Amino acid sequence: MAEVLQIHTNVESSGEAVGLAGIDTHKDTHHVAVIDEFGRPVIDQAFSASAAGYGKVVDLFTRLGHVVKVGVEGTGSYGAGIARALTLEGFKVIEVMRTNRQARRRRGKSDPLDAHQAAMAMLSGVEDTTPKGGDGPVEAMRILLAERRSTIKAKTQTMTRFIPC
């Protein structure tokens, strides 16, 4: 009798098709790749890195069905906006680390590949870091410190302006 090999993933399935997404972020555009629960590509598309682009990504995920997790590269910089927008819409966002630079160069560097790699990280369950929310006490302290530095700089410039040479 032949044995049946079952593959278990960390993805919850409720009987409907499960989608996992990966987003490669840049200053002007974000590249989105969606895969199914077996790692097969579903869609691959670029969107502008703006509020309008974030809305189109949310519309895409809603249209495709049940997107369980979204892996976003660079949630502390270029990916912060899309990560916040997706979190507000109820998607589970996971921060994905960029792959090793040497490995990326060996297999080729492209936005679609990086986005697909981020989606595959969601399938494997390797990444599980929740991105920073950009609010709360830590963000408040960051803003206060930035204002303090700005005030000290302005005060120093004003003081040096009135010192005779």
Structural domain boundaries of the chain? 18-132, 135-165
| pLDDT tier for residue 38 given thresholds of 50, 70 and 90 | confident
* CATH architecture of the domain with residue range 18-132: 2-Layer Sandwich (3.30)
**110 against 93, higher pLDDT:** 93
pTM for this predicted structure: 0.66
For residue 31, count other CB atoms closer than 10 A to its CB. 22
pLDDT of residue 147: 92
For residues 134 and 84, is the Cβ–Cβ distance under 8 A? yes
Average of per-residue pLDDT across 109-130: 74
| Residues 6+ positions from 83 with CB-CB distance below 8 Å | 72, 75, 93, 95, 131
Q: Over 50: is that where the pLDDT of 10 sits?
A: no
| pLDDT tier for residue 9 given thresholds of 50, 70 and 90 | very low
Please give the mean pLDDT across all residues of the chain: 77
| pLDDT tier for residue 50 given thresholds of 50, 70 and 90 | very high
